[in-house]
Structure 1
Amino acid sequence: MLRQRIDAVLLGAPAGSVLSHRTAAELWDLEVPLVDDDRRVHLTVPPGARVRSRADRVVHASVVPAPETRRIDGLLVTSPSRTWIDLAGAVPPAALLAVTDQLLAQGYPADQFAHVVRRYRGRRGAARARAVMGRGDRRAGSPMESVLRWAILDAGLPCPVLQHEVRDERGRFLAAVDMAWPERRALVEFDGDVHRERRVFVNDLRRQNGLVLAGWQVLRFSSADVLGRQAGILRLLTRALTGN
Structure 2
Amino acid sequence: MLLTAPPGAVLSHGTAAELWGVQIPLGDRTDHRVHLIVPSGSRAESRRDRQAHRVPLAEHEVTRRSSFPVTTPARTWRDLAAVLQRPALLAVTDQVLAGWCARSDLARQLSRRPTGRGVARARDVLPVGDPRAESPMESVLRWLLHDAGLPTPELQYVVRDATGRVLGRADLAWPEHRVLVEFDGDVHRERDVFVNDLRRQNRLVAAGWTVLRFTSADVLGRPDEVVAEIRRALR
Of 65, 78, 88, 2:71 maps to: 78
- Following TM superposition, by how much is the alpha carbon of 1:123 offset from its aligned partner in structure 2, in angstroms? 2.1
Amino acid at match of 1:14: P
Instruction: Report the equivalent of 1:239.
Output: 232
Q: Quick check: 2:73–2:100 contact (8 Å CA) kept in 1?
A: no
Q: Alignment identity in percent?
A: 58
Instruction: Structure 2: give runs of 5+ residues left out of the alignment.
Output: none
Separation in 2, partners of 1:18, 1:107: 19
Amino acid at match of 2:17: A
* Residue 47 of structure 2 corresponds to residue 42 of structure 1: no
Separation in 1, partners of 2:136, 2:197: 20
Matches within 5 A, 1:161-176: 161-176=154-169
Amino acid at match of 1:155: A
* Residue 183 of structure 2 corresponds to residue 198 of structure 1: no
Of 71, 77, 87, 2:80 maps to: 87
Separation in 2, partners of 1:126, 1:39: 26
Amino acid at match of 1:222: T
Matches within 5 A, 1:212-231: 212-231=205-224
Count matched residues: 234
- Following TM superposition, by how much is the alpha carbon of 1:117 offset from its aligned partner in structure 2, in angstroms? 1.4
RMSD (Å), alpha carbons: 1.0
Separation in 2, partners of 1:187, 1:155: 17
Instruction: Report the equivalent of 1:135.
Output: 128
- Following TM superposition, by how much is the alpha carbon of 1:237 offset from its aligned partner in structure 2, in angstroms? 0.5
Matches within 5 A, 1:111-150: 111-150=104-143
How does the TM-score come out when normalised to structure 1? 0.94
SS at structure 1 position matched to 2:167: strand
Separation in 2, partners of 1:128, 1:107: 20
Amino acid at match of 2:19: L
Separation in 2, partners of 1:101, 1:210: 30
Matches within 5 A, 1:174-193: 174-193=167-186
- Following TM superposition, by how much is the alpha carbon of 1:107 offset from its aligned partner in structure 2, in angstroms? 4.3
* Residue 20 of structure 2 corresponds to residue 28 of structure 1: yes
Instruction: Structure 1: give runs of 5+ residues left out of the alignment.
Output: 1-5
Summarize deviations over 1:31-77 as a string: whole Å, max 9, x none: 01111111110011111321111110111112212110011122100
* Residue 166 of structure 2 corresponds to residue 158 of structure 1: no
Separation in 2, partners of 1:204, 1:224: 19
* Ranges of 4+ aligned residues in structure 1 off by more than 2 Å: none
- Following TM superposition, by how much is the alpha carbon of 1:83 offset from its aligned partner in structure 2, in angstroms? 0.3
How does the TM-score come out when normalised to structure 2? 0.97
Amino acid at match of 1:26: E
Moved more, 204-213 or 10-19: 10-19
